[in-house]
Amino acid sequence: MKTDFLYQSKYGLFISWTSFSLNKDDTERITNCFEDRFKLYEKAVEDFDVGTFVKQVHETGADFVILTLNHADFVLPFYLKEFEEMLPNRVIKRDLLKEIIDRLKKYNIKLIAYYNGDGFKDVEWQNYSEFNSNPQKHAEICYKITKAISDKYKEDIAGWWIDGCYLIEYNNRCGTRYDFKKYKECLTSGNKNAIVAFNINGAEPWEFDLKGISDYQAGELYILDRYPNGRFSGEGGSEWFSCCYMDDNWVHEDPSEVKSRYTDEQVIDYIKKVNELGGTFAYNLALYRNGTIPEAKRKQLKEIRRIIIGK
């Protein structure tokens, strides 16, 4: 089955890296002005040390990486003609995604792409896509962009984790703007074997029947409190999967030292139990803006690798 690589994994990393990410020594939050945020993001993409990042990922022992392509602001760490035609003031020249994928391949680490079409802190994007006034138009734009990404990277993208699939308000999760069957066709246009998960309702049960559409559940957690009941005990009989933020938040956007939310023992016990019961876990890393993994996380993941993998 195409989800075998996920099932056979001991654990993976959910890499949260966005236009709001801070560095270790930053003392202030990122400005609320998008133009300033984009300049910082553009510079961060330019300066991202792929070699160090992938080396550190390899050292964690992770079998796969889920990498944020965008979140909060609608920006992409690579050039995409279809996106330039929409918002030409946001062109990124470096293909950071391709560089990361190629380096990860050397260690046989698969990449799953995270995509969020909301741009919920991005007024220009929401106005352009008519996010609030015309949900169907916004959905069609997301189909177009994700299909273009899939066609560009093909088999290099092993899967997708699609966020923001409820309708409008984060506290009003009834309804959706997406035709999920059509959305999946776009996501898998360049790679029919890419696995797909739609994040509809966080840790709550699905409100829509995605049986046969979602290959694995999004499994977003805020605490380590959910366990599988067999391999295909995910929503709708999909592959069971969970992910949880393990430090200050999903994204390191608060000017403070990164600390672990859980002890090494707590995380190791959770991963062991999830594996034993047939599921897969992704450890969320709030990456520094320069592309390095916080020291506290590297230390904890080193211990996880020693116990779970044995080296």
What was the pLDDT predicted at 170? Answer: 46
What was the pLDDT predicted at 166? Answer: 74
Residue whose structure tokens are 């393990």: 246
Cβ count near 155 (within 10 Å): 11
What was the pLDDT predicted at 257? Answer: 81
Positive/negative CA dihedral, 142, 217, 165, 182: positive
CA dihedral 145, 100, 29, 88 (to 10 degrees): -40
Residue 282 — φ and ψ, nearest 5°? -120, 125
Q: Do 93 and 79 touch, CB atoms closer than 8 A?
A: yes
What was the pLDDT predicted at 203? Answer: 38
Give the separation between CA 148 and CA 104, rounded to whole angstroms.
22
Give the separation between CA 300 and CA 187, rounded to whole angstroms.
34
Q: Do 160 and 194 touch, CB atoms closer than 8 A?
A: yes
Radius of gyration of the chain (CA): 18
How far, in Å, are 46, 107, 276, 286, 290 from residue 94 at the CA level?
7, 22, 41, 22, 15
User: What separation, in Å, do the N-terminal and C-terminal C-alpha atoms of the chain show?
Assistant: 29
Domain hosting 91: range is 4-309
Give the separation between CA 187 and CA 209, rounded to whole angstroms.
19
What was the pLDDT predicted at 201? Answer: 63
What was the pLDDT predicted at 209? Answer: 73
299: CATH? 3.20.20.80
What was the pLDDT predicted at 210? Answer: 85
- Rounded average pLDDT per 10-residue block, the chain, 311 residues: 97 97 92 94 97 98 98 97 96 97 98 95 95 92 98 98 75 73 98 95 60 93 95 94 93 88 97 98 96 95 97 80
Instruction: Provide the domain count of the chain.
Output: 1
